[in-house]
């Protein structure tokens, strides 16, 4: 028996980004409206003056969010006959940069909007940097409001060239640029009759067809232990496989102890399995009686081992209003393990403020088992938490020496 990942059943997780008034709400509204994903009562509520105001489909959520009524990211779920979508809608203001980090952290694709009249601005660069920081696999540059620049190909080409050059500096190679008018519906769901010079896909067509995978092929298995279940003389280790594939008979190492053994059983929802894939939750039985505890990590016993360390270097986005300070004592929550740590350095600075991007070096009280975020997102990511109040301070992405 094997299990399926979300990617295999056709779900795409995406996030939208863009500066204030770049038309992000209208684009999301147009996607929902033209893909027939709007309920009749919703359509009626935004059509009271005649023409539907598509931005209202998401602005209502945004107003609640900015008043602190809802969480920091609004999620929309919709589907077409070809694919299901989970869309994270985040605000465009600079002070909500941390929200984009939250929305994009699990995204397989990010749509970055640019106003065709303004071109690439500072917030565009910031959003591109976050997409690069989080290693979002696919980036769409949606050059919006083409109707306000006469649908000129030269405007689109200039913006695309400038963004592509900056993206290359960041190491982002997969950028798909699409000229659109979210308000008029050009190239969002239906091809535009006003830009015959453009021969690429519409936004929806690209979203429906872009190849997505939960992880690159050949990614090694990572199984953080959540619970140890004792049943008679047997021990079962429960958790979720965050990457790769585990099979009965595999030689594995339990980290951080470094003890090696063999998998003798996999139990998925009470049924014995011969293998399990990333995303599945199950229990593992090992051939030897080892001292395995919550927070340990089971991985292949080969040269694809994770790194066991007490010195963690990471790219970070600071999320809290209170600054992060060199010398500060914090908690690090990484997979199923929480350890005490101290901030050793902040890339030459003394503090890191809210929405700041930077680099941090942490010294943990106990060894943590990490991968480079660029290789495995789940075991390369962590949160820095205030040990007294329990609030999240910083989101971190592990950077291992090249």
Query: Who wins on pLDDT, 157 or 23?
Result: 157
Full 3-state SS string of the chain: CCCCCCHHHCEEEEEEEECCCCCHHHHHHHHHHHCCCCCHHHHHHCCCCCCCCCCHHHHHHHHHHHCCCCCCCEEEEEECCCCEEEEEECCCCHHHHHHHHHHHCCCCEEEEEEECCCCCCHHHHHHHHHHHHCCCCEEEEEEECHHHHCCCHHHHHHHHHHHHHHHHHHCCCCEEEEECECCCCECCCECCCCCCCCCCCCHHHHHHHCCCCCCCCCCCCEEEEEEEEEECCEEEEEEECCECEEECCCEEEEECCCEEEEEEEEEECCEEECEEECCCEEEEEECCCCCCCCCCEEEECCCCCCEEEEEEEEEEEECCCCCEECCCEEEEEECCEEEEEEEEEECCECEECCCCEEEEEEEEEEEEEECCCCCCHHHHEEEEECCCCCCEEEEEEECCCC
The pLDDT assigned to 374 comes to 84
Query: Who wins on pLDDT, 157 or 135?
Result: 157
For CA atoms 36, 42, 47, 51, the dihedral sign is: negative
Does the pLDDT value for residue 31 go beyond 70? yes
Does the pLDDT value for residue 1 go beyond 50? no
For CA atoms 279, 284, 289, 291, the dihedral sign is: positive
Average pLDDT, integer, range 145-157 = 97
Highest mean pLDDT among 21-25, 78-82, 151-155, 227-231: 151-155
Average pLDDT, integer, range 299-325 = 93
Query: Who wins on pLDDT, 100 or 200?
Result: 200
Average pLDDT, integer, range 374-391 = 91
Does the pLDDT value for residue 11 go beyond 80? yes
The pLDDT assigned to 54 comes to 63
Does the pLDDT value for residue 215 go beyond 70? no
pLDDT by residue (tens digit) across 238-274? 999 999 999 999 999 999 999 999 999 999 888 999 9
Does the pLDDT value for residue 9 go beyond 80? no
Between vectors from CA 83 to CA 80 and to CA 85, what angle results, nearest 5°? 85
Q: Which of 110, 82, 104, 109 is nearest to 9 (CA)?
A: 82
For CA atoms 166, 168, 172, 176, the dihedral sign is: positive
Share of the chain above pLDDT 70, in %: 86
The pLDDT assigned to 214 comes to 55
Query: Who wins on pLDDT, 23 or 94?
Result: 23
How do strand 84-89 and strand 11-18 relate by DSSP bridges? Answer: parallel
Nearest-angstrom CA–CA distance, 62 and 78: 18
Cβ-based neighbours of 68, under 8 Å, separated by 6 or more: none
pLDDT by residue (tens digit) across 327-374? 999 999 999 999 999 999 998 889 999 888 889 999 999 999 999 988
Cβ-based neighbours of 157, under 8 Å, separated by 6 or more: none
Query: Who wins on pLDDT, 48 or 1?
Result: 48
Encoded tokens for 328: 């500060």
Is the Cβ–Cβ distance between 276 and 266 less than 8 Å? yes
The pLDDT assigned to 77 comes to 85
When the pLDDT of each residue in the chain is averaged and rounded to a whole number, the result is 86
The pLDDT assigned to 72 comes to 59
The pLDDT assigned to 78 comes to 86
Nearest-angstrom CA–CA distance, 49 and 392: 43
Average pLDDT, integer, range 95-117 = 84
158 CB neighbour count, 10 Å cutoff: 15
Buried (b) or exposed (e) across 236-261, using 16+ Cβ within 10 A?
A: bbbbbbbbbbbebebebbbbbeebeb
Does the pLDDT value for residue 34 go beyond 70? yes
Does the pLDDT value for residue 7 go beyond 60? no
Share of the chain above pLDDT 90, in %: 56
Does the pLDDT value for residue 52 go beyond 90? no
Q: How far is CA 357 from CA 126, 314, 352, in A?
A: 9, 11, 8
């Amino acid at each position: 028996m094997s299990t399926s990942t979300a990617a295999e059943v056709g779900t795409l997780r995406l996030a939208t980004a863009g500066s204030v008034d770049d038309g992000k709400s209208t684009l999301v509204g147009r996607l929902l409206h033209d893909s027939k994903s709007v309920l009749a009562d919703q359509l009626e509520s935004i059509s009271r003056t005649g023409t539907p105001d598509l931005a209202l489909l998401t602005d209502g959520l945004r107003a609640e969010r900015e008043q602190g009524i809802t969480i920091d990211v609004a999620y929309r779920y919709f589907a077409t006959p070809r694919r299901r979508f989970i869309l994270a809608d985040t605000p465009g203001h600079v002070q909500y940069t941390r929200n984009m980090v939250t929305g994009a952290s699990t995204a397989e694709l990010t749509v970055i909007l640019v106003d065709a009249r303004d071109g690439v601005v500072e917030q565009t660069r910031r959003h591109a940097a976050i997409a690069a920081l989080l290693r979002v696999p696919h980036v769409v540059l949606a050059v919006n409001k083409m109707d306000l620049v006469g649908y000129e190909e030269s405007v689109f080409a200039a913006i695309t060239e400038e963004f592509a050059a900056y993206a290359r500096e960041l190491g982002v190679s997969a950028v798909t640029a699409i000229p659109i008018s979210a308000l008029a519906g050009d190239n969002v769901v239906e091809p535009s009759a006003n830009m015959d010079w453009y021969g690429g896909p519409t936004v929806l067509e690209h979203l429906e067809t872009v190849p997505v995978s939960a992880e690159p092929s050949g990614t090694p298995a990572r199984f953080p232990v959540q619970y140890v279940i004792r049943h008679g003389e047997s021990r079962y280790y429960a958790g979720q496989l965050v990457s790769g594939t585990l099979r009965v008979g595999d030689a594995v190492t339990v980290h951080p102890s470094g003890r090696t053994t063999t998998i003798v059983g996999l139990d998925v929802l009470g049924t014995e399995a011969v293998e399990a894939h990333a995303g599945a939750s199950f229990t593992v039985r090992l051939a030897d009686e080892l001292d395995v505890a919550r927070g340990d990590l089971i991985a292949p016993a080969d040269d694809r081992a994770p790194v066991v360390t007490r010195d963690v270097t990471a790219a970070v986005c600071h999320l809290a209003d209170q600054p992060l300070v060199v010398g500060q004592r914090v908690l690090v929550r990484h997979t199923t393990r929480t350890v005490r740590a101290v901030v050793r350095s902040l890339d030459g600075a003394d503090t890191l403020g809210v929405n700041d991007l930077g680099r941090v070096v942490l010294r943990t009280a106990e060894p943590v088992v990490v991968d480079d975020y660029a290789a495995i997102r789940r075991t390369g990511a962590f949160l820095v938490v205030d040990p007294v109040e329990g609030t999240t301070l910083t989101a971190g992405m592990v950077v291992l020496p090249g």
